[in-house]
Amino acid sequence: MTNSDPREPDAPLQVYLVRHGQTEWSLSGQHTGRTDIALTPQGEDEARALQPSFRGLTFSHVLTSPRQRARQTAALVGLGAQAAVEPDLAEWDYGDYDGLRSVEIRAMRPGWNIVRDGCPNGESPAQITARADRLAAKLSALSGPVAVFTHGHFGRCLAARWIGLDLTAVQNLLLGTACYGVLGYDPGHPENRVIARWNIAVA
Binding residues for substrate: 32-33, 69, 91-94
Tell me which of 86, 91, 151, 153 is the catalytic residue.
91
Can you say which residues are annotated as belonging to the binding site?
32-33, 69, 91-94
Three-class secondary structure assignment of the chain = CCCCCCCCCCCCCCEEEEECCCEHHHHHCECCCCCCCCECHHHHHHHHHCHHHHCCCCCCEEEECCCHHHHHHHHHHCCCCCEEECHHHCCCCCHHHCCCEHHHHHHHCCCCCHHHHCCCCCCCHHHHHHHHHHHHHHHHCCCCCEEEEECHHHHHHHHHHHCCCCHHHHHHCCCCCCCEEEEEEECCEEEEEEEEEEEECCC
**Any catalytic annotation for residue 20?**
yes
**Any catalytic annotation for residue 191?**
no
Tell me which of 20, 61, 151, 153 is the catalytic residue.
20
Catalytic residues: 20, 91
